[in-house]
Structure 1
């Protein structure tokens, strides 16, 4: 009997729940897959919406993974110089078939030194920060560069997850998962990207996120100094 595919998704305080839930739903639909939600302890952590989620595996107990995935969210800023998390990601990545992320999770991979020379995606507001960490920012919903697969902001996690499953199990397996979760998006507005939203909405979104983005830039610059 073939060994099960093992997916590990980082779980941390103040993560964006949908960054994790989209890929988790896709990965968990792979027959026989093992899905590990990873943190330092098994104590519940509060996501950015304020409700609690429970890790299933600690860094210390985590088995070898086929896929290691880092979601994003406000808590990503604190992970940029969290040695325990960055060291775990380096160890897990060394044995994984794919090292991956969703949204601003790519900045955490970058802070761990795992995206140097790789093309990578990120949330549109933070994409340019990847260059400080040695990565090549790409304005695409999902980016694969060798054994790195990165997704854009938040909802791109489902597209990203299906891409990972297709790489591991083939396109037909990914299509079955897509059909099972009825992923057939038809948004009511064409405002899901800066290009579609237009300059006025983009300016409003950037103003609303100004404080958080200043913190994120500061954390990225500090991580870049550490890498140097």
Structure 2
């Protein structure tokens, strides 16, 4: 059954349970994943940018969250941020992103950490950011009540370098799962893994699913299906949630 059908059924979430060693789609009656919380202001989303970032990793969630503003009475604020000075950042394929905002996790409700450059050990990308230590240290200091830190693709390795995935359910691009596990993550074979204030997603195109899942969780199922209709895209894959194993 497509996850869209779960979202449409009420506010019950499409999620996953662990059955006979495999993940199977099911619906939960908790309502926790798609019941929109009361907000006094817009949902604030910051997408972290660095040289070598995978273009689709950052553009897909940016598109989803930006489109969700049309379906939220309180609005949605989405911006690219960097731990360095605001500047032109080059993506993995040379695309230039004019990033105007500095890292400010205290002003965000959701932080999205994309990946990129995993196969270029000596080039720009996640390895260079890990070696520098600036972004991992910033991420390590960011957690607070009310903030969700998320990643997609090899952005999870930046979270791991910050110590945020150690001992916690998480996922990443299939080619980096062994590395994530070696760094202490409890890797789940799911498209999106929701462990409350830590939400991770698989490779490259899963930024769409990450965005849609968080839109459903933070703004409600109607907002998520509205974005799906606008983008002419139906979310795919399994979502693992911590509550699905309780």
- Are residues 1:90 and 2:140 paired? yes
Q: What residue in structure 1 maps to residue 107 of structure 2? A: 64
Structure 1 residue runs without a partner (length 5+): 187-228
Hey, what's the Cα distance between the residues in 2 that align with 1:6 and 1:50? 28
Q: What residue in structure 2 maps to residue 193 of structure 1? A: none
Larger strand fraction of residues: 2
TM-score normalized by the length of structure 1:
0.76
Q: Could you give the per-residue CA deviations for residues 5-36 of structure 1, whole angstroms, max 9, x where no partner exists?
A: 11011110011000011111111122221112
TM-score normalized by the length of structure 2:
0.71
- Are residues 1:73 and 2:125 paired? no
Which residue of 86, 95, 114 corresponds with 1:51? 95
Q: Secondary structure of the equivalent of 2:47?
A: strand
How many correspondences in the alignment?
A: 185
Q: CA RMSD in A?
A: 1.8
Which of 61-70 and 2-11 deviates more? 61-70
Residue pair 1:64, 1:92 contacting (<8 A) in 2 also: no
Structure 2 residue runs without a partner (length 5+): 1-38, 70-74, 118-124, 237-246
Q: What residue in structure 2 maps to residue 22 of structure 1? A: 60
Residue pair 1:9, 1:38 contacting (<8 A) in 2 also: yes
Q: Could you give the per-residue CA deviations for residues 133-170 of structure 1, whole angstroms, max 9, x where no partner exists?
A: 22111121111112211110000110111001111011
Residue pair 1:65, 1:92 contacting (<8 A) in 2 also: no
Residue pairs, 1:1-228, within 5 angstroms: 2-31=40-69, 32-39=75-82, 40-59=84-103, 63-74=106-117, 75-184=125-234
Q: Secondary structure of the equivalent of 1:3?
A: coil
Larger helix fraction of residues: 1
CA separation of 1:98 and 1:107: change in aligned 2, threshold 3 A? same
